[in-house]
Amino acid sequence: MSDDFRKKTEGLHIGIIPDGNRRYAQKKKLPVANGHIIGSEKIKDFTKWCLDYPEVKQITIFALSTENLRRTEEEIEQLWKVYKEKFNEILIDPVIRDHNVKVRILGNDGVWKPNIRELARNVVNSTKNYSKHIVNIMLAYGSKFEIADAVRKMANKPLGTLEKFLLVKEPLDLVIRTGGQYRLSNFMLYQASYAEIYFSKTLWPEFSRKEFDKIMDWYYEQVRKWGR
């Protein structure tokens, strides 16, 4: 890849819909919770892979959707435990510090457990002065919720624009969804308006660096026309 091309793609914003944890657990005859634990480790790997590409400025991770909250109480409780563990890890993760990564945890925080809300605040505060990269963790998030909330905030400010009130204001350049499903599932619908979208058949826990690099090569081959 030429230096000129890298300059053209600086500030790349990648969104990831990491689908397939439960099916992976079923395939391996493991408890569902194990699928989520293994999947959360893959998120750490994925973040490191992205940081290896200097042109990647921002990563947005679909960690928990508003629709996921309809799952069994037992599964949701297990997910909160995973988030608690991973947020604690972020606080001491040298990768975050060494790569100057600002972490933002966004979504409907009214449904987060109190300990998760406090941990999220600690993570955000501990990385707020970093600026080289941004990682958005979307927790209890749905695009319909985000847009409706932005419209409410904008209602009394006629000179404002919708983007100003969105949780994530920057448009996505590339969206990757794993797990063999061909839909966005209420993920960043506004921000993904002109994004390139890659659907992988691989279950999230089995997603590899090799496949990610292949997707990045595919992205660089696309001719983005922005609706023109």
For the chain, which residues make up each domain, given as ranges? 3-218
For strands 174-177 and 12-17, give the pairing: parallel
Q: What is the pLDDT of residue 46?
A: 98
Question: Residue 186 catalytic?
Answer: no
Q: What is the pLDDT of residue 158?
A: 64
Segments of the chain with pLDDT less than 50: 1-9
Q: What is the pLDDT of residue 173?
A: 95
Alpha-carbon distance of 152 to 74, in angstroms, equals 33
Question: Residue 217 catalytic?
Answer: no
pTM: 0.92
Q: What is the pLDDT of residue 162?
A: 86
Q: Which of 34, 68, 108, 186 is catalytic?
A: 68
Q: What is the pLDDT of residue 60?
A: 98
What CATH architecture is 3-218? Answer: 3-Layer(aba) Sandwich (3.40)
Secondary structure in 3-state letters for the chain: CCHHHHHHCCCEEEEEECCCHHHHHHHCCCCHHHHHHHHHHHHHHHHHHHHCCCCEEEEEEEEEECHHHHCCHHHHHHHHHHHHHHHHHHHHCHHHHHCCEEEEEECCHHHCCHHHHHHHHHHHHHHCCCCCEEEEEEEEECHHHHHHHHHHHHCCCCCCCHHHHCCCCCCCCEEEECCCCCCCCCCCCCCCCCCEEEECCCCHHHCCHHHHHHHHHHHHHCCCCCCC
Q: Which of 19, 21, 136, 173 is catalytic?
A: 19
